[in-house]
């Protein structure tokens, strides 16, 4: 049996961030994945590190903290150097309800501080002059947000961590003893002082009572734009996306679109928020709808061809908040899961918060995210 200070179950972006933060403390870390790095949602997602799209309250607060911290980690020699890119973001309204969402967004950002701010608020004519569609009634440009691809960040954290890796080796059981915890993998056992379950949706296989459920998202990748073609400096998010993110349980019939220009010159267009959890499935009518919305908002996209469509599956939680903290009735088993559509953005914060809680004093903010909140909820009911 090999011994470690910390075993991390799951090599998605959250597990990778936990592993890197633990390794910074000089402890021995192992990362175990049933498949390999970024095999789950982290490898099938967009990568907006966005405060603007988060629900007002604690989620927007920790996203703000995570954004600021990601920028620090992206400085020279940091694990996210060359991975996290700061860039502007655009939010568009095509009807009155979406204009209302843009107003609410501007107010929310002012309350949060000045790290992310509205730098332009443009009417239809000015938006059209910038290449936006004639249906765009209003355009907000924000400065201060960023982007990183989930699989790139996962690999960067893992590479910099120096942890021991166990790939294609699923964890099937976690058993706590008095002074250690035994992690039973398919190929053998690991012993540690603590374990963090960062297995995304499959955390359910280890803790079946967690209120986590699948929320799939279909995405499109285009071919590369031509060198002389008009370029977007940052992502475009439809006002309807802001509206859908405010509603925890909402499954929209018309998918709200986000258009992301990638470093490769391709565009990533997505993504739906659907109750089914099939990652091998994309639906032609949904893809057509996404393309139509994207071209309406940014007509230059009509020159692009779709080269691939795919689906990623988010781990959603009933109350829309991730589950981060010590598992109830456990002393050495921690959970960091249920990040739904926000895990790329929150990963830097989550890795630091979990390691602070394990190795130092837990900070109060984790109480809000603790798995204990569901016990309390059921006691109240």
* 325 binds ligand FAD, rule: CB under 6 A: no
Residue numbers 111-130 binding ligand FAD by CB under 6 A: none
Residue numbers 127-156 binding ligand FAD by CB under 6 A: 150
**Interface stretch with ligand FAD, choices 7-15, 91-99, 123-131, 282-290 (CB under 6 A):** 7-15
Q: Which of 29, 52, 171, 301 binds ligand FAD (CB under 6 A)?
A: 171
Looking at the Cβ atoms of 140 and 171, the one nearer to ligand FAD is 171
- Residue entry with tokens 């699923």: 170
Site string for ligand FAD, 224-263 (x = CB under 6 A): ----------------------------------------
**Minimal distance, residue 314 CB to ligand FAD, in Å:** 5
* 339 binds ligand FAD, rule: CB under 6 A: yes
Distance of CA 203 to CAs 182, 199, 217, 343, Å? 17, 5, 19, 15
Q: Which two tokens stand for residue 300?
A: 């230059």
* 161 binds ligand FAD, rule: CB under 6 A: no
* 39 binds ligand FAD, rule: CB under 6 A: yes
Looking at the Cβ atoms of 42 and 222, the one nearer to ligand FAD is 42
DSSP code string of 238-304: EHHHHHHHHSTT---SSPPPEEEE-TTS-EEEE---BS---TT---HHHHHHHHHHHHHHSGGGGG-
Angle of the 150-161 helix axis to the 343-359 helix axis, nearest 10: 30
SS3 14: helix
Q: Which of 8, 15, 192, 225 binds ligand FAD (CB under 6 A)?
A: 15
* 44 binds ligand FAD, rule: CB under 6 A: yes
Residue numbers 342-381 binding ligand FAD by CB under 6 A: 342-345
Find residue 121's DSSP bridge partners. Answer: 140
What is the number of H-type helices and E-type strands within the chain? 11, 19
Could you give the CA distance from residue 312 to residue 320 in angstroms, rounded to a whole number? 18
* 221 binds ligand FAD, rule: CB under 6 A: no
**Is residue 198 within 8 Å of residue 206, measured between CB atoms?**
no
Q: Which of 35, 106, 262, 365 binds ligand FAD (CB under 6 A)?
A: 35
Looking at the Cβ atoms of 170 and 321, the one nearer to ligand FAD is 170
Question: Which residues have C-beta within 8 Å of that of residue 297, sequence separation ≥ 6?
Answer: 92, 94, 132, 133, 135, 136, 236, 238, 257, 259
Could you give the CA distance from residue 47 to residue 44 in angstroms, rounded to a whole number? 10
Looking at the Cβ atoms of 92 and 345, the one nearer to ligand FAD is 345
Question: Which residues have C-beta within 8 Å of that of residue 377, sequence separation ≥ 6?
Answer: none
Q: Which of 79, 144, 217, 234 binds ligand FAD (CB under 6 A)?
A: 217
Question: Total residues at the site for ligand FAD (CB under 6 A)?
Answer: 44
Could you give the CA distance from residue 208 to residue 270 in angstroms, rounded to a whole number? 30
* 164 binds ligand FAD, rule: CB under 6 A: no
* 65 binds ligand FAD, rule: CB under 6 A: no
Q: Residues in the site for ligand FAD, rule: CB under 6 A?
A: 9-15, 32-35, 39-42, 44-48, 150, 170-171, 198-200, 202, 205-206, 217, 219, 270-271, 312-314, 337, 339-345
């Amino acid at each position: 049996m090999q011994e470690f200070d910390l075993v991390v179950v799951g090599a998605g972006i959250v597990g990778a961030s936990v592993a890197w933060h633990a390794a910074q403390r000089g402890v021995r870390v192992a990362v175990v994945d049933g498949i390999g790095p970024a095999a789950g949602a982290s490898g099938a997602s967009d990568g907006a590190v966005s405060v603007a799209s988060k629900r007002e309250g604690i989620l927007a607060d920790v996203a703000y903290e995570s954004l600021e911290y990601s920028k620090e980690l992206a400085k020279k020699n940091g694990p996210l150097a060359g991975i996290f890119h700061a860039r502007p973001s655009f939010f568009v309204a095509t009807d009155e309800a979406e204009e209302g969402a843009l107003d609410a967004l501007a107010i929310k950002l002012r309350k949060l501080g000045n790290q992310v701010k509205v730098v332009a608020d443009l009417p239809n004519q000015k938006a059209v002059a910038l290449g936006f569609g004639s249906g765009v009634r209003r355009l907000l440009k924000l400065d201060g947000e960023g982007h990183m691809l989930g699989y790139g960040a996962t690999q960067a954290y893992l590479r910099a961590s120096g942890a021991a890796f166990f790939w294609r080796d699923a964890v099937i059981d976690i058993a706590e003893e008095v002074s250690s915890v035994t992690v039973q993998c398919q190929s053998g056992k690991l012993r540690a002082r603590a374990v963090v379950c960062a297995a995304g949706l499959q955390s359910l296989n280890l803790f079946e009572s967690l209120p986590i459920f699948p929320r799939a998202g279909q995405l499109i990748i285009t071919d590369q734009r031509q060198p002389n073609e008009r370029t977007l400096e940052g992502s475009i998010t439809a006002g309807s996306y802001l509206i859908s993110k405010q509603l925890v349980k909402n499954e929209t019939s018309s998918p709200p679109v986000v258009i992301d220009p990638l470093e490769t010159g391709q565009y990533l267009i997505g993504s739906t928020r659907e109750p089914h959890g099939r990652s091998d499935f994309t639906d032609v009518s949904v893809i057509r709808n996404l393309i139509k919305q994207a071209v309406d908002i940014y007509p230059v996209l009509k020159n692009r061809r779709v080269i691939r469509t795919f689906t990623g599956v988010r781990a959603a939680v009933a109350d829309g908040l991730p589950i981060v903290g010590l598992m109830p009735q456990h002393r050495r088993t921690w959970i960091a899961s249920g990040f739904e559509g926000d895990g790329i953005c929150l990963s830097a914060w989550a890795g630091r918060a979990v390691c602070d809680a394990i190795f130092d004093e837990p900070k109060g903010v984790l109480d809000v995210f603790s798995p204990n909140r569901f016990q309390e909820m059921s006691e109240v009911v």
